[in-house]
Chain A
């Protein structure tokens, strides 16, 4: 039910408009009708948000909902419920499903499931190539017409430069960004963590940073050649950030994202903090957690705006997918429910600036995929449209307990870690998820 609500006394941060002040926000039938100070309560319920932060709902450009095909890992119902839990009200679903959305038929079936089960707004990302096999282009115009907001082959980077070039040309003409997991599969060589001191110590085959750097350089060159729209998915290397910065300075149509995991953790998480190695399969992701120098460069990239968006790369897996030898474990972290908590820890620690973080979770990702053009309420507190917003405090320390995740994926390297901030309420497309029942009628 669309909510009538007066959110009173919160610090309202809306980077799209530059708003950052203690204000009241009035919703009528799920629509923001008024933002101001000292608003008088009408017949609607009042939510006392004093001491809390009020922002637009978070926008995630990179999530794995697992449906269709991998429902044992997650479903649209379970993972969008987890997204809502974490404050994400718009989620772009990566196409590594079975079948993969490489034609309108598959996307239309997906839309049906989304309409039936999704708890937050979901946009499909279509494939670049048929079956994500990297050989022939998918039905790109059909995918655009059926409502895909971007194109990507997800974890199977488009290895063939000619195909990448054609895809950028065609997608650019269709107005769709191409979100590319930039990785050279041959250089990568099937390693299971970052190549470096820790991989050598653990005797694990490593993925060199160069595999990402080379691919980013190639993709930027093709972006420039074609004039297409390139989105670099989860950049993880220092040099990668530098290349993107240079490309942006040259005026290329490029955007990029970073994950909360790469901002918060390094390759050391695989080893663990004890004297003997942990081989923590929950710290196995792709691209891998990198070095401290890389992590610092990512933080810096977010500060300077080279990195546009924070995207979760939420990737739920079953217990069996992770409870095995490190090389055999599936890569990915269940991230929806810890993303804000780890980011706020970094805000508190002085590594990140709160407004930067909110911007990278709201209007910046919306613009990267032009989502605000599909619905004006995405990524900002816009008057007169159905709204998404999040109310959270910055003070509550809590301990990660994966057993209590809403997501089917319990795979987190943050189990037992202390994170910061509690989400008190989320409004998703005008509907209130008042998890504490604090809004009085």
Chain B
């Protein structure tokens, strides 16, 4: 059996810290220096995106495949735009209409992509851990575009990037993540980048959707857990609302959307308890009028569109670091 151990590659980037990761599967194995490197590369990419043409040819000759087993609008489009902005060739594959529908296994699929010449495979999959399996069986670099409820590393990096644009250093900043934490790959990946950045993280939501084990220490990361948003939001620098999925309600995890809104919607009254100028974030797609009150979603603190814009720069940075590290 092949070992999971991440195949590490080395390049000198910025002459400071070298990117050593073949794959980006989650944020948990990124060092503080890795994260800083992504951030500084993303700055460079942001600069490129503001130029009149907004494109470079750095990744010419590199083939990026987006392999999506689940629906996605923004993540997939964001990766595609990012790869094309650096001159990479992009192939988009969906589970529907591909050999996956004919019963091909994940391993066969990624091996086929490798044989076709995929340098980087951006993968989204409904089952937690699927990209780890893929990464073990292909030489192509795997970027996790979201796996089950486990991880969504580029979302966490773009969220961090957005926060750093406003605050610089995040040390001591209070971040409240509110909503369906249990099923959220966004929350899980954010926890690592935020804790690595010295932020103080509170997870808030209905007791059925916020795993208590996240505060228990032990092997897990250390966060505060709250079921009371009015208290948790007190003095927050950032309020990040997560998407509530309708099927959670159908599964009986919350009594009703009405009940959820009453307890956990981020509205103007609650936001007033946060620090003045607190950021309001959402990974999208929003349920209109559920996670965020409309005036808050479009209010002064809302950086939701910045998140989307930054997503392209951060994904350019990640693609650049990973693709460049592959070069001999």
Contact = CB atoms under 8 A, between A and B. Distances in A.
Nearest to B184: A203
Interface string B169-188: 00000000000001001001
A19 interface: no
B25 A279 contact: no
Interface stretch (B210-218, B283-291, B305-313): B210-218
A415 interface: yes
B114 interface: no
Nearest to A189: B251
B26 A202 contact: no
Contacts of A36: none
B6 A276 contact: yes
B129 A325 contact: yes
A278 B135 CA distance: 11
Interface in A414-441: 415
B137 to A, nearest CB: 9
Interface in B182-204: 182, 185, 188
A173 interface: no
A275 B30 CA distance: 10
A325 B220 contact: no
Contacts of A275: 28-29
B145 to A, nearest CB: 14
Interface stretch (A95-103, A157-165, A192-200, A237-245): A192-200
Nearest to B6: A276
Contacts of B182: 200
A325 B127 contact: yes
Given A276-B6, A276-B25, A202 B128 contact: yes
A205 B126 CA distance: 12
Contacts of A205: 149
A320 B133 CA distance: 13
A193 to B, nearest CB: 10
B260 interface: no
Contact of B219 (A198, A276, A278): A198
B216 A197 contact: yes
Given A276-B28, A276-B29, A323-B107, A202 B127 contact: no
Contacts of A201: 188, 219-220
B133 A324 contact: yes
B4 interface: yes
B106 A324 contact: yes
Among B28, B128, B149, B211, the most chain A Cβ lie within 10 Å of the Cβ of B128
A48 interface: no
A149 B106 CA distance: 42
A277 interface: yes
SS of A interface (majority)? loop
A201 B216 CA distance: 12
Contacts of A196: 213
Contacts of A204: 128-129, 148-150
A328 B132 contact: no
Given A196-B213, A203-B151, A276-B26, A328 B1 contact: no
B321 to A, nearest CB: 18
B148 A203 contact: yes
A130 to B, nearest CB: 30
Contacts of B214: 200
Given A276-B132, A326-B127, A203 B149 contact: yes
Among A204, A278, A279, A327, the most chain B Cβ lie within 10 Å of the Cβ of A279
B219 A272 contact: no
A321 to B, nearest CB: 12
Given A324-B106, A326-B128, A197 B26 contact: no
Contacts of B216: 197
A198 B218 CA distance: 10
Contacts of A274: 4-5
A74 interface: no
A268 B127 contact: no
Nearest to A279: B129
B185 A272 contact: no
B125 interface: yes
Interface in B104-159: 105-107, 125, 127-130, 132-133, 147-151
B22 to A, nearest CB: 11
A278 B148 contact: no
A325 B151 contact: no
Contact of A200 (B6, B107, B133, B211): B211
Contacts of B211: 200
A203 B219 contact: no
A320 to B, nearest CB: 8
Interface string A389-425: 0000000000000000000000000010000000000
Contacts of B105: 320, 323-324
Nearest to B182: A200
A396 B148 CA distance: 44
A196 B132 CA distance: 21
Nearest to A199: B213
A196 B212 CA distance: 9
Nearest to B251: A189
Contacts of B127: 325-328
A93 to B, nearest CB: 29
Interface in B66-121: 105-107
Contacts of A325: 106, 125, 127-130, 133
Contacts of B4: 272, 274, 276, 278
A254 B29 CA distance: 48
Contact of A278 (B29, B106, B132): B132
28 contacts: A197-B216, A200-B182, A200-B211, A200-B214, A201-B188, A201-B219, A201-B220, A202-B128, A203-B149, A203-B150, A203-B188, A204-B129, A204-B149, A276-B6, A276-B25, A277-B129, A278-B4, A278-B132, A279-B128, A323-B133, A324-B105, A324-B133, A325-B106, A325-B129, A326-B127, A326-B128, A327-B128, A327-B148
Q: Which 10 A-B pairs have the closest CB atoms?
A: A203-B150, A279-B129, A203-B128, A325-B127, A203-B149, A200-B211, A200-B213, A197-B213, A325-B130, A327-B127
Given A203-B148, A325-B106, 20 more contacts: A197-B213, A200-B182, A200-B220, A201-B219, A202-B128, A275-B28, A276-B4, A276-B25, A276-B26, A276-B29, A278-B4, A279-B129, A279-B132, A323-B107, A323-B133, A324-B107, A325-B127, A325-B128, A326-B128, A327-B127
Interface of A: 196-198, 200-205, 268, 271-272, 274-279, 320, 323-328, 415
